[in-house]
Structure 1
């Protein structure tokens, strides 16, 4: 598989566009931090969160730009490294930056209430369900690597881009549900999140082992590349999931027996009436 120049991360419009998008994301976050500080100087904004967002953006740059991006098109080991960076490491860093909380602090009250309503909507609650996030982030790997889908996606630049978008979106959603510091209307309890994370760890291990052994795998690549890619997935995935478990512990706060409206106001999302309050976590 040899995509046309400029479509595989070796240079040209695709690389320039990727750089511009990543720079725009970083600049947008920094501008939101500045606005949030101006709107409420007493609260400020944690530099650790800002650093976390910039780290996540840098990890995406490593994954999507040369020298890794070109290698991912011709070497399955490069693809798997890309997969881990885009789908596991970068999302965890981005989620720990608390982008929803920042958005609510930076927006005018009317716009913040619209975001609150969106987060309370049935589709948002469905996406935050553990079964859904597991299916999107982990279950989709079975479809990708044990059917012709991977080979089809790699043969078309658009398909490769959609695969990256899926890795990032599903990874972000999984990290957001499991260990996000942002308040969420339908986030399960700590036990349910630990179970969700444990299932993901076990599923990743089984997929990597099946890939290493060549069981039902449909990947057009040399056997040694597939086996080494499986090792990258096995060990690299374990490290990423341990980091996510550590993030869950770091962001966990005991639930208090307070009225629902008060909990939402303190979390920064807003109560049922759409009010937006400060977040006690910096």
Structure 2
């Protein structure tokens, strides 16, 4: 667990709080700018973005952070919040779409070109995103990296930033409403999700099996939190993937109104293709 001296400044907590405040303020500024340009923004997306920021900061500051310094169970609760649940809510906040609505036309075209760039095409390939997400967790929990992060605050910040960003990328590829260079079909996404879930579960079972010493029960409870918490979030992802497929393939006229039908009208090219 975390062995920082209690008299030292908790760098991770400070950085996490600052980033969360900036993320909320920046999002609010974009909402105002988009509305000034005559482009409305759903309140629900703003709410899930703020809640996602709150969950992310709760994982690295406050009571949970303090408990995680001595409890493996609390540490794993923070992992589920930071790496899985917070990314899901942040993705549903659709920050890229909001940015496109807030930008002027010329700036928006530059952003679109960036989104269509080759590096982002590679990063948004589902297998690559899954490898960065789950593979990163195997690196953290299967090597001495976590122990080193407890000693070096800068490394700890980088590890937690990777957990959050990799979780965001993987979630965005699966269910994100924001535009992507390309978006794979439902079957492809579900296969990648199932494989990622299996790798995550195997890691949790490995941690459970390796638990020992005076903290045996705490370590086992932590592994169970990782296992069942991860399954719950991944189940939500699977439901959202299938819901997207249903909305895109259902017959016209089935739904809750013409406006919703217009929003969900199938496109003539694959969903998520930019420009």
Higher helix share: 2
* Aligned residue number for residue 152 of structure 2: 156
Shift of 1:6: 6.7
| Aligned position for 1:47 | 43
Q: Where does residue 234 of structure 2 map in the other structure?
A: 241
For 2:185, which of 172, 181, 189 is the aligned residue?
189
| CA offset digits 1:62-101 (Å, max 9, x no partner) | 1121111122222222221111111000000000011110
The answer to whether structure 1 residue 73 and structure 2 residue 69 are counterparts is yes
Deviation at 1:137, TM superposition (A): 0.6
Report the CA distance shift for 1:220/1:30 in structure 2 as closer, same or farther (over 3 A).
farther
Q: 2:20 aligns with which of 19, 22, 37?
A: 22
- What is the CA distance between 1:143 and its match in structure 2? 1.8
Name the CA distance, whole Å, in 1 between partners of 2:113 and 2:8.
39
**Residues 1:167 and 2:163 are matched in the alignment:** yes
**Structure 2: how far apart are the matches of 1:221 and 1:33?**
51
User: TM-score, normalising length from structure 2?
Assistant: 0.85
Shift in alpha-carbon separation, 1:211–1:259, aligned structure 2, 3 A: closer
Structure 1 length normalisation: TM-score? 0.83
Q: Unaligned 5+ residue runs, structure 1?
A: 272-282
- 5 Å-filtered alignment, 1:27-42, equals 27-41=25-39
Q: Is the 8 A contact 1:6 1:15 kept in 2?
A: no
Distance 1:149 1:135, change over 3 A: same
CA RMSD of aligned residues (A): 2.4
Aligned-pair CA distance for 1:221: 8.3
1:180–1:248 Cα contact (<8 Å) kept: no
Match of 1:279 in 2: none
String of CA shifts for 1:240-263, please: whole Å, max 9, x gaps: 111222332344442746257xx7
Q: 1:18 to 1:205 in 2, by over 3 A?
A: closer
Tell me the number of residue pairs that the alignment of Structure 1 and Structure 2 aligns.
257
1:232 aligned residue (225, 230, 233): 225
How do 1:39-188 residues align onto structure 2 when only pairs under 5 Å count?
39-41=37-39, 44-188=40-184
Do the aligned partners of 2:85 and 2:233 also contact (CA within 8 Å) in 1? yes
Q: How far, CA to CA, are the matches of 1:163 and 1:184 in structure 2?
A: 26
Change (3 A) 1:78 1:7: farther
